[in-house]
């Protein structure tokens, strides 16, 4: 059942996460993955922007669009051609923005699993035994879950893309798309706690669906946080993991 109280609670948990980080001096666990995120993001962006330009150039040559535009000798047509080419590159960038977050969650899953575990250990005043084999299983599970979420999110976005062509109703698709992405991001943050409590993938999916308001609230703040260049990219992932862990522990849901 969807609960607006869970949405509000998940949003408020970010404030609790900030206080928790300050109180227990967890900044190194925030900044290290944050710096890695920024380095990987800018490296990936460099290649995406460059290769998207090469793709547009290859496509225009393949379809002889460049020669056609030159033969017309129209400044307006040339301008429109440049605008369309730029728009295609922007679409590639938007797709990159959307899916890089998941790729980073896969790469940094050991750090975020540990961060979620450390948060619960402090809250519950207990230690969790470390195991390399268990860490490997957690990483593999994180990869599977992220890939699942990517597939589901992509399918939902493609449906929204088709609906967007319907007059009036289509105007709502950007907002619906925002909520869909937010839900799946929050889903990923909650799953770190689920895997630690030995819920298998199907159990975790069922549990998070029952508390989808919590996933949505966590993901909304994460999404908005990520819109802040550099600072948001550095802080948002770790804050989201800690906020989700605190919210789940406070409610004793797991």
* Confidence (pTM): 0.81
Nearest to 222 by CA among 240, 244, 202, 206: 240
| Residue 69's pLDDT band (cuts 50, 70, 90) | low
Does the pLDDT of residue 86 top 80, yes or no? no
Say which residue, 55 or 191, is predicted with more confidence: 191
Nearest to 187 by CA among 161, 206, 160, 159: 206
pLDDT of residue 74: 62
Q: How far apart are CA 77 and CA 79, in angstroms?
A: 5
Four-CA torsion 8, 172, 91, 104, nearest 10 degrees: 20
Q: How far apart are CA 229 and CA 161, in angstroms?
A: 27
For residue 131, count other CB atoms closer than 10 A to its CB: 10
């Amino acid at each position: 059942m969807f609960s607006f109280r869970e949405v509000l609670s998940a949003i408020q948990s970010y404030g609790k996460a900030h206080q928790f980080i300050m109180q227990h001096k967890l900044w190194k666990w925030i900044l290290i993955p944050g710096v890695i995120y920024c380095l990987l993001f800018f490296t990936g962006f460099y290649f995406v922007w460059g290769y998207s330009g090469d793709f547009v150039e290859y496509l225009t040559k393949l379809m002889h669009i460049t020669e056609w535009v030159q033969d017309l000798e129209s400044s307006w047509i040339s301008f429109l051609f440049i605008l369309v080419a730029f728009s295609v590159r922007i679409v590639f960038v938007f797709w990159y923005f959307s899916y890089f977050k998941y790729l980073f969650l896969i790469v940094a899953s050991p750090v975020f699993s540990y961060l979620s575990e450390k948060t619960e250990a402090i809250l519950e005043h207990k230690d969790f035994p470390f195991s390399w084999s268990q860490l490997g299983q957690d990483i593999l599970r994180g990869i599977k879950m992220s890939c699942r979420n990517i597939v589901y999110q992509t399918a939902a976005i493609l449906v929204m893309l088709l609906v967007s062509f319907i007059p009036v109703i289509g105007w709502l698709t950007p907002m619906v798309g925002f909520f869909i992405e937010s839900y799946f991001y929050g889903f990923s943050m909650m799953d770190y706690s689920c895997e630690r409590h030995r819920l298998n993938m199907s159990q975790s999916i069922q549990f998070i669906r029952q508390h989808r308001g919590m996933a949505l609230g966590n993901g909304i703040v994460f999404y908005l946080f990520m819109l802040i260049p550099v600072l948001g990219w550095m802080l948002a992932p770790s804050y989201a993991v800690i906020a989700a862990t605190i919210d789940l522990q406070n409610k004793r849901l797991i």
